[in-house]
Amino acid sequence: MERKIYKSIRGGRQSLGSYLKEVFDARNLILSFAVRDLKIQYAQTYLGVFWSLVQPLTGLIIFNFFFQRVIPLHLNVPYAVFAFTGIMVWFYFTALVGQGGTALMANQALIKKIQFPRLVLPLSKALVGLVEFSISLILLLVMLLVFGVGISPKIVFLPLVVIANIMSGLSIGIWLSALTIRFRDLHHLIPYLIGFGIWLTPVFYPTTMVPESFSWIYYLHPVANVIALYRWIFIGLPINFVQVACSFTIAALMLISGLYFFVRNEKFVADYL
């Protein structure tokens, strides 16, 4: 009589499909890790999760001072709203890349002792970031009302843009988290990537100020287009959908290849730690 095999372990590679199913089965765990991280960060503080607003708000104050008083930028929308849209996306992106990229390294002890699909770790970081991002989003909505910009019906596209936002951040975060295990050097590279990336991204300046000869960058730059989409939704700035399509294709390719790379390396993560 053939008996049911509960689980099998063999050498060799796992298909991406069966791996993603395993991740889906562990969705409970993604949630548990995210709740754990939020509790640890914000429990026992008076402001709680609103502490996540401190950094973007500080950024907003500085940018607002510089680009309204020191080097005034003239836009036909309130600068504060314009800048904050960029800042909130940028902070979420840095969380996806920074936190996601180091998620495996940060949980070494766990990885060596308990088996679970390791993709759960960067994904739970994405979820934590999403909670913080949502708080920023609420603040943005308040700002839109206060500055009299109002809320456009285009807000129905918001969920799609948020998904695009997460995907483009994760595409880099997943690559990094798998790579940092093998190549520890990258661990030191991540802060630079984040520190300099802000200058290449239209966070506090509009793309219209960038010389025509450099605008090709935005065909390759998913985060710039994520920001452009948010600005299109909330403050009605024009958007180049060819750029959006082009850069998101790149992000999608990065994400799929990143997942393949992650799955290939995940079985050896514990050996390399």
Nearby residues of 229 by Cβ (< 8 Å), 6 or more positions away: 157, 161, 164, 239, 244
**In the set 23, 34, 60, 111, which binds another protein (CB under 8 A)?**
111
| Residue 3 near another protein by CB under 8 A | yes
User: Least CB distance from residue 92 to another protein, whole Å?
Assistant: 24
How far is it, in rounded angstroms, from Cα 200 to Cα 47? 33
User: How many other CB atoms sit within 10 Å of the CB of residue 195?
Assistant: 10
Nearby residues of 77 by Cβ (< 8 Å), 6 or more positions away: 149, 235, 236, 237
User: Least CB distance from residue 198 to another protein, whole Å?
Assistant: 24
What track of x and - describes contact with another protein for positions 178 through 207 (by CB under 8 A)? ----xxxxx---------------------
How far is it, in rounded angstroms, from Cα 215 to Cα 243? 10
How far is it, in rounded angstroms, from Cα 195 to Cα 104? 22
What track of x and - describes contact with another protein for positions 34 through 73 (by CB under 8 A)? --x--xx--x------------------------------
154 or 182: CB nearest another protein: 182
How far is it, in rounded angstroms, from Cα 90 to Cα 223? 8
User: Least CB distance from residue 239 to another protein, whole Å?
Assistant: 38
End-to-end CA distance of the chain: 42
22 or 66: CB nearest another protein: 22
| Residue 24 near another protein by CB under 8 A | no
13 or 154: CB nearest another protein: 13
| Residue 270 near another protein by CB under 8 A | yes
| Residue 1 near another protein by CB under 8 A | no
DSSP string spanning 181-219?
Answer: HH-THHHHHHHHHHHHHHHHTTSSS-GGGS-GGGGGGGG
| Residue 268 near another protein by CB under 8 A | yes
What dihedral angle (degrees, nearest 10) is formed by the CA atoms of 38, 44, 49, 51? -120
Two tokens, residue 11: 């050498």
What track of x and - describes contact with another protein for positions 138 through 167 (by CB under 8 A)? ------------------------------
Q: List interacting residues with another protein (CB under 8 A).
A: 3-11, 25-26, 28-29, 32-33, 36, 39-40, 43, 109-116, 182-186, 267-268, 270-272
